[in-house]
A and B are shown apart, each in its own frame.
Chain A
């Protein structure tokens, strides 16, 4: 009976999948490819300065957010980014990532990580000096002079400004093939007296992202972030404002050498990495704002603790790097070892179990290079975990073969205590114990699954590699919830129920999950307590609903894992039952 139901549940799941695959309209692959190509070419006009007035005919929806107007800019062109340097203030305030779109749609705008103050989401990097003794230093309104017409890998750009009193300031920007800027701050002293300057760098953000929040059970790691003396320091936007209010605008401040700090998004990072081995002070600040920028300014900055001095005729230099881009795990690791940045990998939130989560990520990432799909990688990973626990299963199988020898005893116990399930369970375990066999593997192996599940959640939810990672059918993003919805009959009804009640959402995969859970429960005896038994019956529904809001990859992993476990358990039970029957019938006759 139970087996019939299990098979029915599985057949139904597959049927739903098949029907759905057939009903759902999905974009033709070659068409999508063309769109990607088109958007990437139109989004990166070669040699065009985004600051220049744009052609009105450029109405391609893929066009990036309007670039700032009416200031003087030098274009940045690198393999994976394009943007411009603002000569007013010498800021890095315009940068778009060529490889990442805002949504899963191939014609959606490219992701913009740096944006000038004139735009909706200002986020920019600026370098400067403060000085004692009346030396005029450049400020945010200073118009710098550039020595070239573009910044690209292998072609650095020098910005210079003469303060008119014998001191020349220079910022030499360089960029690599990915997301790292090199910054060389120089001060030429042409005066007759020595001068002292404090080079500084800062990341400023004039808005707080509305969607800055964590998933289930985790706080967001978005906001100010940094490594100071080997320790990770984080402040989300709310506590940044609160702590800054309480301490005169400075939410956090610490001295350090070799650390880094910046403003963290879930997938993107804007960070400062001072190179020069001098003691720095890093601070997280919030400055109140009004009007258009009512959110105020969230700022992370570094400044040298002691001044750099330049004798007459000499040059004071300060070297640093600035990162603006996507937090790709391998890339962060490469920068960490190349630039000797302490714990740069911690920009990605791997959680408390990072020691386990990171290896799991690397296995998944490797499997992805093998299968070419993260969904298949997840399934492969599940198989590997099952294989690792094969010795346990094997032991189980051998134990199974002994089961038939004691089947008469078990049957006798079953018969004797059939009106008292608790007593029956107890007596059966006693039989197993005296015969030194046991049909289940125990709680410890089961509990081991929980951390693995948690790590998978962190990987799926938090790493950019999983962002927009497609699977088959209607899953175009494993890191996002299943987009289908039961409550509008999977798109057959022309309305969006979540528009009215946000919680009215449950996709196909979560429903399949509920089905597999239901099937799993059929394989196990119901709990003796009737109240608990009723709650057990409800669990598949509750869990399907809960998992509907989680990354689709996690739901798919769970379905696959349940299916494998159920098939294994069903097989064992079938074998045991079959063998039990043949032996059982023999002594009954005799």
Chain B
């Protein structure tokens, strides 16, 4: 991981441990948006990973069906 990717990953981890339980919301997808962000950054690097994560969060709204949505290109079905 590049330093930038490591930093973003850390930021998401901090979110998962602090804000996430506070906000009490739940994601419409599996894996959840924050897990998705970490996997995407690990698989595609900081820039593309962050872009994928941002797009995922935008999709995670009541007008979207949700469901199983793995990070593209991670070999998971």
Contact = CB atoms under 8 A, between A and B. Distances in A.
A438 B25 CA distance: 13
B30 A442 contact: no
Given A443-B57, A443-B60, A444-B58, A539 B22 contact: yes
B24 interface: yes
A445 B32 CA distance: 14
A438 B24 contact: no
A445 B65 contact: no
A446 B23 contact: yes
Contacts of B17: 532, 535, 539
Given A432-B67, A433-B65, A440 B26 contact: yes
Interface string B13-39: 000111101111111111011000000
A541 B22 CA distance: 12
B25 A445 contact: yes
Contacts of A436: 65
A150 interface: no
B68 A433 contact: yes
A441 B61 contact: yes
Nearest to A439: B26
Contact of B30 (A392, A425, A520): A425
A440 B65 CA distance: 11
B10 interface: no
Contacts of A532: 16-17
A433 B66 CA distance: 6
A560 interface: no
Given A396-B62, A433-B68, A443 B25 contact: yes
Contact of A443 (B18, B22, B27, B30): B27
Contact of B64 (A425, A442, A543, A565): A442
Contact of B24 (A392, A439, A442, A524): A524
A392 B64 CA distance: 12
Chain A binding surface SS class? helix
Nearest to B17: A535
A208 B21 CA distance: 41
A474 interface: no
B21 A521 contact: yes
Contacts of A429: 28-30, 66-68
A442 B28 contact: yes
B48 to A, nearest CB: 20
A326 to B, nearest CB: 34
25 contacts: A392-B62, A395-B62, A396-B62, A426-B30, A429-B66, A429-B67, A432-B67, A433-B68, A436-B65, A440-B26, A440-B27, A441-B28, A441-B62, A442-B25, A442-B28, A442-B60, A443-B25, A443-B33, A443-B57, A444-B58, A447-B57, A517-B21, A517-B22, A521-B24, A539-B21
A569 B23 CA distance: 13
Interface string A413-450: 00000000000011001101110101111111111011
B60 A438 contact: no
A228 B49 CA distance: 41
A254 to B, nearest CB: 36
Contacts of A308: none
- The 5 lowest CB-CB distance pairs between A and B, nearest first, are A433-B67, A446-B25, A440-B26, A442-B60, A443-B60
A523 interface: yes
A536 interface: yes
Contacts of B57: 443-444, 447
Given A443-B27, A539-B17, 9 more contacts: A429-B29, A440-B26, A441-B61, A441-B62, A442-B25, A442-B61, A520-B24, A523-B24, A569-B24
Nearest to A389: B62
B18 A539 contact: yes
B56 to A, nearest CB: 8
Nearest to A395: B62
Interface of A: 392, 395-396, 425-426, 429-430, 432-434, 436, 438-447, 449-450, 517, 520-521, 523-524, 532, 535-536, 539, 543, 562, 565, 569
Contacts of B65: 432-433, 436, 438
A430 B67 CA distance: 5
A438 B66 contact: yes
A436 to B, nearest CB: 6
Interface in B30-54: 30, 32-33
Contacts of A425: 30
A440 B22 contact: no
A396 B21 CA distance: 21
A573 to B, nearest CB: 12
A438 B64 CA distance: 9
A162 to B, nearest CB: 68
A524 B30 CA distance: 15
Q: Among B21, B29, B65, B68, which residue has the most Cβ atoms of chain A within 10 A?
A: B21
Given A392-B62, A433-B67, A440 B28 contact: yes
A463 to B, nearest CB: 25
Contacts of B66: 429, 432-433, 438, 442
Contacts of A535: 17
Contacts of B25: 440-443, 445-446
B44 to A, nearest CB: 19
Contacts of B19: 450
A539 B17 CA distance: 8
A520 B22 CA distance: 8
B61 A445 contact: yes
Contacts of B27: 440, 442-443
Contacts of A520: 24
Contacts of B23: 446, 449-450
A565 B24 CA distance: 9
A440 B67 CA distance: 11
A436 B64 CA distance: 9
Contacts of B21: 517, 521, 536, 539
Contacts of A440: 25-28
A557 B65 CA distance: 32
A292 to B, nearest CB: 47
B30 A444 contact: no
